[in-house]
Amino acid sequence: MSDFNTLRLIEALLFASKDPVPTSVLAAQIPDDEDIAEILETLQSHYANRGIVLEGAGNAWAFRTASDLAGDLAIQRVASRRLSRAAMETMAIIAYHQPVTRAEIEDIRGVAVAKGTVDTLLEAGWIKPRGRKQTPGRPLMWGTTDGFLDHFGLATVKELPGMDELKAAGLLDKREGLASLPTSEEDEDDETETDLEMEDGEEAVDAGTSADVIQLDQAR
């Protein structure tokens, strides 16, 4: 059983941080004989039915407002940047096919990916290099980050919607190249990514979970 003061310390660290705290950072703050997994499980159970809940985002943790209260707390305001359809397609490809190279993204989409698209995702903290592919030229491969999971309220990439759901929401074209994305019943082990940059000739479109609508910041 975890010491009560240790439990309080972890609770305070999570509450005080504006960003999700990695499990390794939390573990470094407690005695060696304490189990950080047990402490986090205890806190999760304690806050399970409250207005604030403890959620994992990859290998990090943060307090968030309960999802069922989102409708009561939502405040909508227009942001300066909007997701283009090309950006959302690129996002989905990285998400479900990671680690994936830029050339592979272009092959699936059937059009070139602007350099600014990748730059924007890097600045957002949603993608990171995932090594180099062992092919001629050794191109970089890209994958998602814990920051991406946190932004979209996902604990793991297994919670990503399937292709049918994305198409139903109007977030994907029904072009042949994008048919390689998984459906809601397959490829659960693939991972995620997102894109904020408009490409030449592409019209920006609204997306329910995109940067067009920003909800009230969740409590930390």
H or E segment at 99? Answer: none
109 in the same domain as 56? no
End position of a domain, from candidates 30, 51, 73? 73
- What pLDDT is attached to residue 196? 36
End position of a domain, from candidates 37, 58, 73? 73
- What pLDDT is attached to residue 195? 37
Residue 30: which domain range? 4-73
Q: Is the dihedral of CA 96, 100, 106, 110 positive or negative?
A: negative
- What pLDDT is attached to residue 216? 30
21 in the same domain as 120? no
- Total tally of structural domains belonging to the chain: 2
67 in the same domain as 84? no
Which stretches in the chain have pLDDT values below 70? Answer: 1-2, 75-83, 163, 166-167, 169-220
87 in the same domain as 69? no
22 in the same domain as 109? no
Domain CATH code at residue 202: 1.10.10.10
- What pLDDT is attached to residue 100? 94
Beta strands 52-57 and 60-65, pairing class: antiparallel
183 in the same domain as 114? yes
- What pLDDT is attached to residue 200? 36
DSSP 8-state class, residue 69: G
